[in-house]
Structure 1
Amino acid sequence: MTLSIVKRDQWLHFTGVLNRDTLMLYSPFTLLNDASGEIRFNLAELTAIDTAGLAWLLQQLAQAKQRGVVIALCNVPKQLLSLADVTAVRPLLPISD
């Protein structure tokens, strides 16, 4: 199980598994520290996500909002959408096509 998050311009590309075990690699999360404007999270290459991963995404959204940064979630996996529906947080996710 691995997680890779690579920043390219205004995009963050997520690859692998976003869960309680892999999040430790990105704690604290510093890739948004110098961000401005809009940042897109490309989630197309996520192979799995759990509720800890969803909570982490929500935390990043909140912290970005405090800094005036807008995040758009792109290529959102069905598993993430299902978790968001079950936990009733889907309206909080800024999903972009």
Structure 2
Amino acid sequence: MTLNIVQDGDSLRFTGALNRDTLMLYSPFTLLNSLQGSVRFDLAALNNVDTAGLAWLLQQLAVVKSQRVSVALCNVPQQLLSLADVSAVRALLPVID
């Protein structure tokens, strides 16, 4: 399993698995340092998400908020939404779909 995150204009495209096995590649998540204004996290190509991935995503959302960057999550996989519902944190996810 791998996780790739690439910047494409004002979007960050996530591909692969967002889970405890892949997160170390993006800790710290240095791509956040170059973000300004508004950005989308495009999650369409995620094929696996676990609770560690959800927690990491929430942490990154807090970081960009502290940098005064507006983030919207698009193409959010149902697996991530279900985990957020079970964890009672769905309201913290800025989903636009």
Could you state the TM-score of these two structures normalised by the residue count of structure 2? 0.98
Identity across matched positions, percent: 69
- The 3-state SS of whatever aligns with 2:88 is coil
- Shift of residue 34 of structure 1? 1.5
Counterpart check, 1:51 vs 2:51: yes
What stretches of structure 1 move > 2 A for 4+ residues in a row?
none
Q: Distance in 1 between matches of 2:27 and 2:85?
A: 26
Q: Distance in 1 between matches of 2:47 and 2:12?
A: 16
In structure 1, what residue type is equivalent to 2:50?
D
Root mean square deviation of aligned Cα: 0.5
Equivalence for 1:84: 84
In structure 2, what residue type is equivalent to 1:57?
L
Q: Which runs of 5+ in 1 are unaligned?
A: none
Equivalence for 1:69: 69
**Structure with greater helix percent:** 2
Q: Distance in 2 between matches of 1:90 and 1:72?
A: 13
Q: Distance in 2 between matches of 1:14 and 1:8?
A: 11
In structure 2, what residue type is equivalent to 1:14?
F
- The 3-state SS of whatever aligns with 1:15 is strand
